[in-house]
Chains A and B, each alone.
Chain A
């Protein structure tokens, strides 16, 4: 079967760095997406990786290792507004997104 695993909840301090991991087993791979979702709101796109390596976009970076079925989202200089759920999703061989359950990130002052 297809499976996406990410931690249920993480806590970090304002101004610090946090890494959210995602491991996956899917039928085929056409890229991995990270989305941010504030409570009760729509998910918004953060990043896309299809090749191995690190993609940096401001305070957010995303890493992919296809051989290990592993990705992480790195958030630097954490701000209170970064408190949200972070969703990992893999596009499978049918171009459908398979979603993880999300990681709820709590930022403390």
Chain B
């Protein structure tokens, strides 16, 4: 079955620690995205990548980093510089990053920083 996987589903970390969220897709999609979802707010774009070895900052990239070394993988690191990291993180992919392309979402990772 094709799809997007994110792991883990729940993650707890102490304040000041970096943490990496995994996102893998086997849909052969070129574009991948990381969003953050907070209660009462729309999804906000953190980073996106339209092709391997290239990625762009979204609206709220500060305190986050990504890599895109393989087409199927787009891990997100939440660094200690992120002021309020507790949130629900969603990874998505689409066939390309241009024109109409439905985005498919992974199940999400709920990160809690204690």
Contacts and interface: CB of A to CB of B under 8 A. Distances in A.
Interface of A: 4, 8, 30-31, 33, 40-45, 48, 50, 87, 89, 91, 95-102
Contacts of B43: 43, 87, 89, 97, 99
Contacts of B90: 42-43
Contacts of B88: 40
A48 B108 CA distance: 23
Given A42-B107, A43-B90, A44-B105, A91 B100 contact: yes
A30 B100 CA distance: 7
B99 A30 contact: yes
A50 B42 CA distance: 21
23 contacts: A30-B99, A30-B100, A40-B88, A41-B108, A42-B107, A43-B43, A43-B105, A45-B102, A45-B103, A48-B100, A48-B102, A50-B100, A87-B43, A89-B43, A91-B100, A95-B99, A96-B45, A96-B48, A98-B42, A99-B43, A100-B42, A101-B41, A102-B42
A91 B110 CA distance: 26
Nearest to B48: A96
Given A42-B90, A42-B107, A43-B90, A33 B102 contact: yes
A103 to B, nearest CB: 11
Contacts, number: 49
Nearest to B110: A40
Q: How large is the interface on B (under 10, 10 to 19, 20 to 34, 35 or more residues)?
A: 20 to 34
A101 B40 contact: yes
- The residue in A31, A33, A102 that gathers the most chain B C-beta atoms within 10 A of its C-beta is A102
Contacts of B41: 101
A24 to B, nearest CB: 11
Given A30-B99, A43-B90, A50-B100, A101 B42 contact: yes
Contacts of B108: 40-42
Interface in B73-114: 88, 90, 97-100, 102-108, 110
Given A31-B100, A50-B100, A95-B98, A87 B42 contact: yes
